[in-house]
Amino acid sequence: MDTIPISPPPLPSDPSIPSPQIVPPPPTVHHPSKLLWFLAGLTILILGILAGYFATNVLSQSKKPSDDATTPSQKSSTNFSQLAVSPTSTIDPTANWKTYTNPNYPFSFKYPSNYTVEENSGYISILSPLLPVTDKGYELKNGELKIEIYIQSSPVNDSLKKYVLEKKTQTKENLPESKIINETEVTIDGIKTILLKWEAVGTGETRYVIKNGYRIGITKYPLETSRQSEFDQILSTFTFTD
């Protein structure tokens, strides 16, 4: 018969003898691998190269002048050449006006088509449309314009100074209350004239000129009018004939 081994009974534990302490192993510290550091450095290097390339190309393109850019002198010459080739066209405000001529008088002029012209021997009247005022007197108002032209033969040894002096004397005799406001020299169609601005029955101005054996007086009423520009344009069309 087989013999069964019998284990000895466990020894009672002695509380005075400490049990051996189990010390856990130190934790494992994972350090980044050298491959990750290499990849990070390579990425930063590539980004730096791309940024430098982009900045260099953008700045060079912004500073580079365009093909059609011109210097100030080139622009100036271009502008002057364009002005020379295609001058600015102007509209003649008197293009649709009527023209007054008389073979007996040494001048012609243009006037607006809505003006009324009357003439007699040695006298021409050019009158603008009148304001719709029923109680107006003889004196013309602002917004109206009347031009009177007097023509007479010039005496022997005549001069513009004599002509103007005679007219001043005659006006003072006929209208003692009249007075000269201003006297200046002006030109009409390049011909010297004397301009008198006066005050009598109303106000006005008269230009005196001697041309081709004729004394010519051009009077405008009233002195101040909103139709002054029309009067100036009429005078600008005044042409003396030989």
Q: Residue 187 is part of a domain; what is its CATH number?
A: 3.40.1000.10
For the segment 91-106, the average pLDDT, to the nearest whole number, is 92
pTM of this prediction exceeds 0.75: no
Helices (H), the chain: 34-63, 72-85, 160-174, 228-236
Is residue 84 domain-resident? no
Task: Classify residue 83: in a domain, yes or no.
Answer: no
DSSP assignment of 127-196: EPPPPS-TT--SS--TT--EEEEEEEEPPTT--HHHHHHHHHHHHHHH-TT-EEEEEEEEEETTEEEEEE
Average pLDDT over residues 40-49: 75
Residue 31 lies in a domain: no
Q: Are 193 and 208 in contact (CB under 8 A)?
A: yes
In a domain, 52, yes or no: no
Q: What is the mean pLDDT of the chain?
A: 79
The reply to whether 232 falls in a domain is: yes
Instruction: Return d(Cα 70, Cα 76) in angstroms, integer.
Output: 10
- pLDDT above 90: residue 157: yes
pLDDT band, very low/low/confident/very high, at 17 (cuts 50, 70, 90): very low
* Cβ proximity of 142 and 201 under 8 Å: no
What's the total number of domains in the chain?
A: 1
- Residue 137's pLDDT is 63
Site of tokens 């006298």: 123
Q: Integer distance in angstroms from the first to the last C-alpha of the chain?
A: 177
The number of C-alpha atoms within 13 Å of 184 and in the hemisphere containing its C-beta is 6
Please indicate, yes or no, if residue 91 is contained in any of the structural domains.
no
Residue 196's domain spans which residues?
98-130+140-240
